[in-house]
Homo-oligomer: A and B are copies of this chain.
Amino acid sequence: MPSLKTQPVSSAAASSAAPPPAVRVYEVGPRDGLQNEQAFIPTEDKITLIETLADAGLARVEITSFVNPRWIPALADADRVAAGLAHHPRYAEAFTALCPNLKGLSRVDDTPLREVAVFMSASESHNKRNINKSRDETYPKFEPVFAACAERGLRVRAYVSVVWGCPYEGAVDPAEAVDVAERLLAMGAYEVSLGDTIGVGDPAQTHRILDAMTARIPIEKLALHMHDTRGTALANCLAGYEHGVRTFDASVAGLGGCPYAPGASGNLATEDLVYMFERMGVSTGVDLDRLVDAGLLAQRLLGRTLPGRALQALSAGRTP
């Protein structure tokens, strides 16, 4: 079969028009994908996966989480992962890690990381259940983290969860999500990643949320973190792209299930996202063949077929 991966259907159309705006792809698999795995993936394997992802050209790779290892045993080797990558030429540019507090930040000090990420929820109930604090109690805890990052010259990215819907409250008023996003940006975040944590969103809703956001926040400050639990993640990303969003989160091979629906898909697969955009003529900076290498490696490490669709199709002709 001739390669159809990224080939424009009409070369005339492709050459006569200016290329559409490029996007940045933020890879969350090694952190968001692996954090819910029961099996502990050996540190060396995590490092190989992260290196393969970085070599594929992803704008960012979130390599681990500097939280208490008792909370997330799967990522208990955060310090060793960060140290084991120290030689990587794209470290300062491309690697980042979740780091919700000052204790985590003290561990980041021992690494070449130049960026960290924090998270909170758009809904009060989800924030309380997730981190045992109200939203208003959360901001003061972040203040010293942002201050310390500013002092160290670390970029801070902020995730806002459950923007498209909350497992405890149902619908979430976009105004609440806008308020959380604005406050995190005001505290110093360079970007806010809006998450459809339970994968309920639809494209019309995505437009409504972005309308509410962009009334207060420049679109350049917003990223989308869509889950594919009901198959709508790519359609939501398409709506976001049409709205002007240029940064999208995804997880290699779709690593990371949905904690609220056992057996269901969670994170959008990076290969699906990159395939769609590249074939639309939208540059992602990602080498899709190399990304498929990473997806196949993820499947070998986990010992099972992962939910990414393009991964299965693009690797079908390969020798395993």
Contact = CB atoms under 8 A, between A and B. Distances in A.
Given A10-B174, A235-B238, A316-B264, A202 B280 contact: yes
Interface stretch (A71-79, A148-156, A162-170, A216-224): A162-170
Interface of A is mostly: loop
B313 A261 contact: yes
Interface in A1-39: 1-4, 7-10, 13, 20
A291 to B, nearest CB: 13
A18 B313 CA distance: 40
Q: Kindly list the 4 A-B residue pairs having the minimum CB-CB distance in the complex, ordered from nearest.
A: A231-B272, A2-B170, A231-B309, A261-B316
A204 B265 contact: no
A190 interface: no
A171 B261 contact: no
A205 interface: yes
A262 B279 CA distance: 22
A232 to B, nearest CB: 5
A203 B280 contact: yes
